Every structure is written in structure tokens, then in C-alpha cells.
Amino acid sequence: MKPFIRSTERPPASDEPAAKLGQHLYAMRVHCGMQQGQLAQRIGISQTQLSRIERGNSAPSWAVLMAIAAAFEITPSQLLSTAGL
């Protein structure tokens, strides 16, 4: 896995935690060269649900958060801290 460098390509919709996490997730996915559908399949949710999470319109459940972290080979704590949460 490539090392992740925080991206500022897409500003968050707000400073809400869901928006910050969504922006960070989007940046990580793009950095790793993954399509939205690929990540959604890997973590066991629909592409629509992943899109809502990335846009900050929906917060992931703890199980989905754990699956996202596992997909990027990091811990949930690392995922949240690198997102600034």
C-alpha cells in the first residue's frame, strides 16, 4: 500500500465529523487508485452508501468503519486521527 499524504483536493461540505471523514475517505481511495465500486464491494456496502459517506451525508456504522480501515490496512483509530477526528 502506498503511504497516504493528506489531500486537500476536495473541501469538506462542513466541519461536521461525517463530512471530514467523507473527504478523507475519498482522498484515500483516490490516492490508492481505487474506484468507488471496488471499495464498496471490498467493505460490503453498496456504492450508493459509500457515495453518501464520502459526501458527508451519512456516517458509517462502527462495523463499516472497521471494514474501511481494514481495506486500507490501518486501524480505525488511525483512520479517524488522520481524518482530524
Domains present along the chain, CATH in parentheses = 17-82 (1.10.260.40)
DSSP 20-73: HHHHHHHHHHHHTT--HHHHHHHHTS-HHHHHHHHTTSSPPPHHHHHHHHHHTT
pLDDT in tens, 14-67: 668 888 999 999 999 999 999 999 999 999 999 999 999 999 999 999 999 999
Backbone φ and ψ for 53, nearest 5 degrees, come out as -65, -45
Phi-psi region of 24 (alpha: psi -120 to 50; beta: other; left: phi over 0): alpha
pLDDT of residue 17: 85
pTM: 0.79
